[in-house]
Amino acid sequence: MKKMNIVNAYTTPDEWKERARKIPAGRTGTAAVKSLSPIKAAAVAAIAIGIGAGGFLILHTSNDEMIPPYEPAPTQVSDPDARKELTIKQKISAYYPKSNDYAVTKLFDQYNNKNCCTKLTDMTGCPESFSDMLKGDLGRIKAGELNEISAECDGYILSDKKISLLIRLDNTGTSVDTKDIARMFSTYVSVVDSQTGTQVEKQVEVTSYEGFMAQFLRVDITLGKELMMRFNELTVDTHILLTDKGLDTVITDDEAGQYSGRYHYDIRIRQAYADKSEKNDSYDTVSAYLSNRSALYPIDQNAAYQLTGCYYSGGAARYITRTPEFHIPDDSDLTDKAVLRQAENNSQKSYVKSVDIDCDGIITDGVNMYALFRETSVSLGMVENLNSDLIIKAYLKDTGEEISLLGTPETFEVSTEGLSRMIIRLRPDNILSGRTVQLHIISGSGDYGEQSYHYMFEISIPETSAAEEKSAQKIFASATEGTKLLSSSMGMMITGCDALISQKEEEARAAVSPALMYIEGEELSSGSYDLDGQYKGVVSDEALTTDRDVCRLYRVRSADGGTAGYYISYNSPDNNVYSIHFFDEDI
Partner 1 sequence: MGENSINETFQSAIDEYSDMVTRICIVSLGNMIDAQEAYLNCFESLYMQLKKKPPDDTGKWLAKVAYNECKSMLRFKLKHKFVSIDDITMPFDTAQESELIQIVFSLPEKYRNVLHLYVNVGYSTREIAEITGQKESTVRSQLKRARERLKKELEKGG
> Which positions lie near partner 1, rule CB under 8 A?
1-13, 16-17, 19-21, 23-24, 27-28, 31, 69, 71-72, 174, 179, 209-210, 212-213, 387-389, 404, 407-409, 412, 414, 416, 446-448, 526, 545, 547-550, 573-574
Measured from the CB atom, is 7 or 39 closer to partner 1? 7
Measured from the CB atom, is 29 or 462 closer to partner 1? 29
Measured from the CB atom, is 4 or 39 closer to partner 1? 4
Measured from the CB atom, is 62 or 545 closer to partner 1? 545
Measured from the CB atom, is 12 or 348 closer to partner 1? 12
Measured from the CB atom, is 21 or 279 closer to partner 1? 21
Q: Shortest gap between Cβ of 540 and partner 1 (angstroms)?
A: 13
Measured from the CB atom, is 119 or 536 closer to partner 1? 536
Distances (CA, A) of 545 to 517, 542, 568: 11, 8, 16
Cα separation, 406 vs 401, in Å, equals 16
CB 167 within 8 A of CB 151: yes
DSSP-assigned letters across all residues of 116-139: ----B-STTSSBS-SSPPP-S--T
Cβ burial, residue 255 (10 Å; 0-12/13-18/19+) = middle
Q: Where are the alpha helices (DSSP H) in 99-229?
A: 101-114, 143-146, 178-184
* Residue 201 DSSP label: P
Q: Shortest gap between Cβ of 213 and partner 1 (angstroms)?
A: 8
Measured from the CB atom, is 335 or 525 closer to partner 1? 525
Q: Shortest gap between Cβ of 4 and partner 1 (angstroms)?
A: 4
Whether a cis peptide bond, with omega within 30° of 0, leads into 13 is: no
**Close Cβ partners of 180 (under 8 Å, ≥ 6 residues apart):** none
Q: Shortest gap between Cβ of 17 and partner 1 (angstroms)?
A: 6
- 90-95 and 454-460 beta bridge pairing: parallel
Q: Shortest gap between Cβ of 51 and partner 1 (angstroms)?
A: 16
Measured from the CB atom, is 236 or 382 closer to partner 1? 382
Q: Shortest gap between Cβ of 526 and partner 1 (angstroms)?
A: 6
* Residue 75 DSSP label: H
Cα separation, 59 vs 45, in Å, equals 11
Q: Considering only CA atoms, which of 299, 488, 361 is closest in space to residue 95? A: 361
Q: Shortest gap between Cβ of 455 and partner 1 (angstroms)?
A: 18
Q: Shortest gap between Cβ of 56 and partner 1 (angstroms)?
A: 8
Buried b (16+ CB within 10 A) or exposed e, 258-294: ebebbbbbbbbbbbebebeeeeeeebebbbbbbbbee
Cα separation, 541 vs 228, in Å, equals 51
Q: Shortest gap between Cβ of 364 and partner 1 (angstroms)?
A: 22
CB 315 within 8 A of CB 118: yes
CB 464 within 8 A of CB 367: no
